[in-house]
């Protein structure tokens, strides 16, 4: 009976990019192995790790035939995820970062909702946790919600929907011709925007099923200000092209998205210049950020509050450009 049930379940591919996570990869993969949804393949893509991550992956492969290990030179998390998509055999796709872990019913819970609701994408609640395992904060923890069409894109722009790729179950057909951009620190934002544009229906399963580790200062998601920090602004401006051509009715939502991106990067910039990393090139970025924020404030949108403007102004006051 168990084999019949396994064979009647569609295959779900779980893609795990691996880079220098020797201390965390076992916990991550074991949380996937222990899923109560059994018909899965686990694709570990070692992206040129220089610690013992590859060795730990090989040990895991020996213990479960569902694990496939792919090894490549260091080309970045986007390249690793893209390779996972190419190599995947499943009808559905899940991404898990290699220092995170998931509840043992995450895949089954999202799959059941996807079938019941006939959704293209299902996401779950997220617990952001510290390295010691203590919980920092939660997202999407408050009731099942369904998004269609422009409401889905509005959720993306206003931040009510996650910009991460790793808390979701996707129909694989939805990913056709959609790839993670390489050489950027905003790869999830690009990917999710492109996915959401193609999605007819997305359902949010509010229960926390994904545990996201707060990255340390060496990780991509916690990087301090640098030239690459401006990628978030560049991504927002590329979204603006779509807004102008296809979704002009979402302009005010885009203004909010753009402003919050500017404010986030400005905070990193202030931290950088107040720790004496300032130079002429940094001043160029600072002038751009301040000018863009002031122009955006002039646009006005119902989604930005007085406190949002005040936070940006407080950062600006800390600078003496």
Mark the ranges of the chain whose per-residue pLDDT is less than 50.
1-5, 217-223
The DSSP string of 230-295 is GHHHHHHHHHHHHHHHH-GGGHHHHHHHHHHHHHHHHHHHHHHHHTT---HHHHHHHHHHHHHHHH
Contact 207, 124 (CB under 8 A): yes
What is residue 115's predicted lDDT score, i.e. its pLDDT? Answer: 97
Across 305-318, b (16+ Cβ under 10 Å) vs e yields eeebeeebeebbee
Integer Cα distance of 83 and 76 in angstroms? 11
What is residue 218's predicted lDDT score, i.e. its pLDDT? Answer: 41
Integer Cα distance of 125 and 157 in angstroms? 18
Integer Cα distance of 43 and 66 in angstroms? 9
Q: Which residues pair with 203 in a beta bridge?
A: 122, 146
What is residue 316's predicted lDDT score, i.e. its pLDDT? Answer: 82
The DSSP string of 189-225 is HHHHHHHHHH-SEEEEEEEEEEEEEPP-TTSGGG--S
pLDDT tens per residue, range 11-35 = 999 999 999 999 999 999 999 999 9
Contact 92, 110 (CB under 8 A): no
pLDDT tens per residue, range 103-155 = 999 999 999 999 999 999 999 999 999 887 788 888 875 678 999 999 999 99
Integer Cα distance of 4 and 10 in angstroms? 12
Contact 205, 122 (CB under 8 A): yes
Helix (H) or strand (E) holding 230: none
Integer Cα distance of 94 and 42 in angstroms? 10
Question: How far is the first Cα of the chain from the last one, in angstroms, to the nearest whole number?
Answer: 71
Q: What values do phi and psi take at 96, rounded to 5? A: -135, 130
Packing angle of the helix pair 306-317, 280-299 (nearest 10 deg): 160
Integer Cα distance of 30 and 132 in angstroms? 18
What is residue 224's predicted lDDT score, i.e. its pLDDT? Answer: 66
> In this structure, are strands 121-129 and 201-213 parallel, antiparallel, or unpaired?
parallel
Question: Is the pTM here over 0.95, yes or no?
Answer: no
What is residue 285's predicted lDDT score, i.e. its pLDDT? Answer: 80
């Amino acid at each position: 009976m168990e084999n019949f049930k396994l064979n009647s379940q569609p295959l779900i591919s779980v893609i795990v990019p691996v880079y220098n996570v020797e201390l965390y990869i076992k916990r991550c993969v074991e949380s996937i192995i222990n899923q109560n949804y059994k018909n899965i393949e686990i694709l570990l893509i070692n992206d040129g790790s220089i610690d013992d991550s590859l060795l730990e992956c090989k040990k895991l492969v020996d213990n479960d035939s569902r694990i496939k290990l792919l090894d490549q030179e260091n080309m970045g998390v986007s390249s690793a995820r893209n390779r996972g998509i190419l190599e995947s055999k499943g009808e559905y796709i899940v991404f898990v970062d290699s220092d995170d872990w998931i509840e043992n019913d995450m895949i089954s819970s999202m799959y059941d909702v996807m079938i019941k609701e006939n959704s293209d994408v299902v996401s779950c609640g997220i617990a952001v946790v510290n390295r010691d395992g203590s919980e920092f904060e939660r997202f999407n923890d408050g009731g099942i919600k369904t998004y269609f069409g422009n409401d889905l894109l509005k959720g993306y722009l206003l931040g009510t929907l996650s910009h991460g790729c790793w808390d979701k179950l996707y129909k694989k057909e939805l990913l056709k011709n959609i790839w993670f951009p390489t050489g950027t620190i905003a790869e999830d934002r690009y990917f999710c925007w492109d996915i959401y544009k193609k999605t007819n229906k997305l359902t949010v399963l509010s229960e926390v099923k994904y545990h996201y580790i707060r990255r340390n200062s060496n990780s991509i998601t916690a990087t301090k200000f640098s030239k690459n920090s401006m990628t978030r602004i560049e991504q927002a401006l590329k979204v603006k092209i779509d807004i102008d051509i296809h979704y002009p009715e979402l302009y005010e939502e885009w203004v909010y998205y753009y402003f919050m991106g500017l404010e986030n990067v400005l905070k990193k910039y202030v931290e950088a210049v107040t720790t004496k990393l300032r130079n002429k090139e940094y001043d160029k970025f600072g002038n751009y950020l301040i000018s863009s924020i002031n122009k955006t404030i002039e646009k006005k949108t119902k989604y930005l509050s007085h406190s949002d403007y005040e936070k940006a102004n407080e950062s600006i006051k800390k600078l003496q450009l």
